[in-house]
Amino acid sequence: MLSRRRLLQRGLTTAAGFTLSKTVPAMQQAMASPAQVRSGVKLTPYVDALPIPPTIRATGKPAEVIDIEMRQFQQKVHRDLPPTTLWGYDGCWPGPTIEAEGGKPLSVNWISKLPSTHLLPIDHSIHGAESSLPAVRNVAHLHGACTMPDDDGYPEAWFTAQGEHGPHGSKFNPRPSAYPNCQPSTALWYHDHCLGITRLNVYAGLAGTYLIRDDAERALNLPQGDFEIPLMLQDRLFHHDGSLFYPKVVNGPKEHPVWIQEFYGDYNCVNGKVAPFLEVEPRKYRFRIVNAANARFYHLRLFNSNAAGKVQNDSLDVPSFQQVGTDGGLLPAPLELHYLLIGPAERFDIVVDFSSCEGKSFSLVNDAPAPYTMGGQYLTEDVMLFKVTKPLSGRDTSVVPETLVPFEPLSPNYETRERLLLVSEKERPSDGYVIIGLLGNARWHEPITEDPKAGSTEIWSFVNTTGDVHPLHVHLVRFQVLNRQAFDVPTYQQTGKLVFTGKPMAPESNERPAYKDTIKSYPGYVTRVIMRFDLPHGAPVSPGDELLYVWHCHILEHEDNEMMRPYKVVV
């Protein structure tokens, strides 16, 4: 019998992207990693049942508006902890799962009833988080949605419970946000997007799942109802009294006396519980997974275990993951996988068949190093436990078809514009501690440089000179991954010339053909994606209009410290 550590080390060698990380060891060794921080309490995994967030189902009626309140509340996150004070949409963490119908608009009235004092430490040296601003301010972004800019959750469109608003607030708020839902069936997620404090607001609990349904999805007869379950993954630190612990920097750069370059907790929470268990029937289940962690990547595998979650052996006799969808919707065909590598903000739509597993237990274990892929921070392994202990409530008639939905590939031609976009970080010379991250070598407030025309197709090539894997997200659009290609980083930094050191690498098997809105940009690689800048159907625009959106790294600590840029779509 192998130890769990041996099992995890063996599993890591199969991780997608692991070979990419091996190509830039010098860069990674230069990266300083802050000291590990641990919770003040030891918690036993798999003692609490997985909570299922409440569901809000849109009726599909014209001009439908739902109210969602942001409130402070208390919630038990583990059996052995006192209740934790949190912020949540409609007073729960995560927020309610919103189900909308494709092609039928839905408006959400985001209402703040939060206090005026923040739960967590604010670094006022961060641009957009100055001490002159209200400590508590919010704006909701529906991640992955095709919306008009007024409804996209622009980072400066914040507002407060007291009626204050940011520089864009008079335009964007307080009216409800309109979501056209003009996309195929998919899993989106909503979260706070306030400039300079996104990491704190999401960490406090402001995130939830948003599902778009349509007839094409229903015709597939995938598991549904009680057998379709959202799983929101986040890591956290806790004090003995149950309160959230978000650390301040120790020996950090003088430029930012509070901000930490990335957050890593020592406990994984799923749907707001520390390492919960889920009792399932011997049948197929569909899981809508969202990585809503601040910075942690998850490399997930199932292991045989006992009823307490202790790994039993290295047998491959465990259910596989049948991936049927990703960020932008369903795949053209299901893909059988034995691991899932999911970066912050990515979504995986999977089916697991427990039909021949009656009486067995399977632990879902993470072995992704943190930071991914260099390591140095605490490896949070326990994610959740599946117990196949519930009696079958009825015959399982659901299926995973051999084909799912049609796919329209985007192919570049001689007219397709390519933009080379630098992904860089500025480090403290003494030890490589990251002071700030940049996209396109520009800060948030500097002039806009990306200006695609509405309806045009472009290739964005992300040139990553850092030692980090950055999950990059572009608002408004769904894109397709073309390839990745290694380049000589020192030569590029010294001359600005791209000298490639390898041939283009095909995307991962679940990246193409697929619609994505968040992509892993590996260090020392150019990552190319192609996208068409379509606006919502019937968008009320006029020639010459310039519509404001953003693109950014979805490591929230990076996003808050300048690794986010506005771009405009020109009509």
Is residue 543 within 8 A of residue 458, CB to CB? The reply is no
Report how far apart, in Å, the C-alpha atoms of 25 and of each of 35, 471, 523, 527 are: 20, 20, 10, 19
> Is 403 among the domain residues?
no
Tell whether 349 and 441 lie within a shared domain.
no
DSSP string, 519-548: EEE-TTEEEEEEEE-PPPTT----TT-EEE
Domain boundary among 158, 181, 213: 213
Q: Does residue 402 form part of some domain? A: no
Q: What is the pLDDT along the chain (571 residues), one digit of tens a residue?
A: 223 333 333 333 333 444 444 443 333 333 445 678 899 899 999 999 999 999 999 999 999 999 999 999 999 999 999 999 999 999 999 999 999 999 999 999 999 999 999 999 999 999 999 999 999 999 999 999 999 999 999 999 999 999 999 987 544 456 899 999 999 999 999 999 999 999 999 999 999 999 999 999 999 999 999 999 999 999 999 999 999 999 999 888 889 999 999 999 999 999 999 999 999 999 999 999 999 999 999 999 999 999 999 998 766 789 999 999 999 999 999 999 999 999 999 999 999 999 999 999 999 999 999 999 999 999 999 999 999 999 999 999 999 999 999 999 999 999 999 999 999 999 998 888 899 999 999 999 999 999 999 999 999 999 999 999 999 999 999 999 999 999 999 999 999 999 999 999 999 999 999 999 999 999 999 999 999 999 999 999 999 999 999 999 999 999 999 999 999 999 9
Helix and strand element counts for the chain (H, E): 8, 30
Kindly state whether residue 186 falls inside one of the protein's structural domains: yes
Question: In 202-213, which positions are buried (b, 16+ CB within 10 angstroms) versus exposed (e)?
Answer: bbbbbbbbbbbb
The answer to the question of residue 21 being in a domain is no
235 closest CA partner among 206, 203, 197:
203
Number of domains into which the chain is organized: 3
- Dist. CA 69–CA 96, nearest whole Å: 11
Question: Do the Cβ atoms of 292 and 204 come closer than 8 Å?
Answer: no
CATH code (residue 324): 2.60.40.420
- Whether 306 maps to a domain, the answer reads yes
**SS3 of residue 80 by DSSP:** coil
Give yes or no: residues 188 and 243 share one domain.
no
Residue 42 included in any domain: no
Token pair, residue 195, equals 């400039």
Domain final residue, candidates 388, 406, 441: 388
Same domain, 144 and 79: yes
One domain for residues 490 and 428: yes
Q: Say if residue 153 is in the same domain as residue 75.
A: yes
Q: Find the domain containing 502 and state its range.
A: 417-570
Residue 382 domain-assigned (yes or no): yes
Residue finishing a domain among 345, 371, 388:
388
Contact indicator for 4, 45 with CB cutoff of 8 Å: no
> 341, 298 in Cβ contact below 8 A?
yes
Whether 379 and 350 share a structural domain: yes
At residue 238, φ and ψ (nearest 5 deg) are -135, 145
Whether 102 and 247 share a structural domain? no
d(CA 560, CA 550): 13
Q: Within this chain, do residues 383 and 423 fall inside the same structural domain, yes or no? A: no
Do residue 346 and residue 261 come from a single domain?
yes
462 domain residue, yes or no: yes
Closest CA to 360 of 419, 412, 427, 312: 312
pTM flag (> 0.85): yes
Residues 296 and 353 in one domain: yes
Residue whose C-alpha is closest to residue 536's, from 450, 474, 455: 455
Q: Are 481 and 511 part of one and the same domain?
A: yes
Please check whether residues 317 and 422 belong to one and the same domain: no
